[in-house]
Amino acid sequence: MSSKCEQCIVRQFSSLKALNKEELLKMAECKTSYIIKKGEPIFEEGETTNGIFCIKDGVCKLTKLSANGKDQIVKLVKPGELLGQRSLISEEPTNLSAVALEDMEVCFIPKKEIMEFFNENNQFSMNVMKTICGDLKDADDHMVSLAQKSVKERLAETLLHLEDTFGKNEDGTLHIQLSREELAGMIGTATESCIRLLSEFNKTGLIELIGKKIAIVDRNKLKRMSE
């Protein structure tokens, strides 16, 4: 028996907040829930998903494999967000892979129902459009950053962004747990270069390295460095 969608966190934060009781009921009936273990894919580049995923818990990375074999992280997606809207609307296979960075809980809603919501609920369409527009703006910003900033500036920028978006633990370390390789994949550099710069930031008191974890020590300096 499916659980209700009415009180789900995803509904509060995503385009789905526009859905009415009847629509939510329909969704609760057609949805499938999944548990995805850390490291496992939700979908992979080139797949046809035929629906969208709602992220109830856990963070995942959207990556694209580049010609040289490295995974570029395009975006991190957190609870409350939807996944796979783009390829559903474009009616194309996904151009990105989604891989869990933590254990995740997700729900899958089939294309059929989503398309019905589009047709019947204008506010829902508008919300989805706004989300995608937001993604596009972020992508443009990211693009300029990759094109015009140095690796050092991008690392500083990314560390701040990670703290702002995912928060920190009691010991001040970033809550989101990325390997050095993944962090390098976000800023578009070699893993060794990323490690070297973290080490440098550590020595100059910008951050503190506690095992594999990273704590931001001097936010202001880091901010200045990112510009």
Partner DNA sequence: AAATTTGTATGACAAATATCATATTTTAAT
Partner DNA sequence: ATTAAAATATGATATTTGTCATACAAATTT
The residues binding DNA (CB under 7 A) are 68, 150-152, 179-181, 188-193, 195-196, 198-199, 209, 211-212
Place of tokens 């659980």: 3
Strands 51-57 and 213-216, bridge-based pairing? unpaired
Long-range contacts of 146-155 (CB under 8 A, 24+ apart): 146/188, 149/226, 151/187, 151/188, 151/189, 151/193, 151/194, 151/197, 152/197, 152/225, 153/225, 153/226, 153/227, 154/187, 154/188, 154/189, 154/226, 155/183, 155/187, 155/189, 155/194, 155/197, 155/198, 155/201
The residue among 64 and 213 lying less far from a second copy, judged by its C-beta, is 64
Name the nearest CA neighbour of 102 among 174, 172, 178. Answer: 178
The residue among 1 and 67 lying less far from a second copy, judged by its C-beta, is 67
Scan residues 86-105 and list those touching a second copy (CB under 8 A).
86, 89-90, 92, 95-96
Residue among 17, 35, 112, 126 that touches a second copy (CB under 8 A) = 126
The residue among 3 and 119 lying less far from a second copy, judged by its C-beta, is 119
CB 98 within 8 A of CB 60: yes
What does the chain come to in residues?
A: 227
User: DSSP secondary-structure letter at 205?
Assistant: T
The residue among 8 and 184 lying less far from a second copy, judged by its C-beta, is 184
> Which option in DNA, a second copy, none does residue 103 bind, with CB closer than 5 to 8 A by kind?
none
Q: Quick one: which segment of 11-19, 102-110, 121-129, 194-202 binds a second copy (CB under 8 A)?
A: 121-129
User: DSSP secondary-structure letter at 62?
Assistant: E
Tokens coding 2:
């499916």
> Which option in DNA, a second copy, none does residue 212 bind, with CB closer than 5 to 8 A by kind?
DNA
> Which option in DNA, a second copy, none does residue 1 bind, with CB closer than 5 to 8 A by kind?
none
Residue among 18, 57, 72, 105 that touches a second copy (CB under 8 A) = 72
Interface residue list for a second copy (CB under 8 A): 64, 66-68, 70, 72, 74, 85-86, 89-90, 92, 95-96, 118-119, 122, 125-126, 128-130, 132-137, 139-149, 187-188, 227
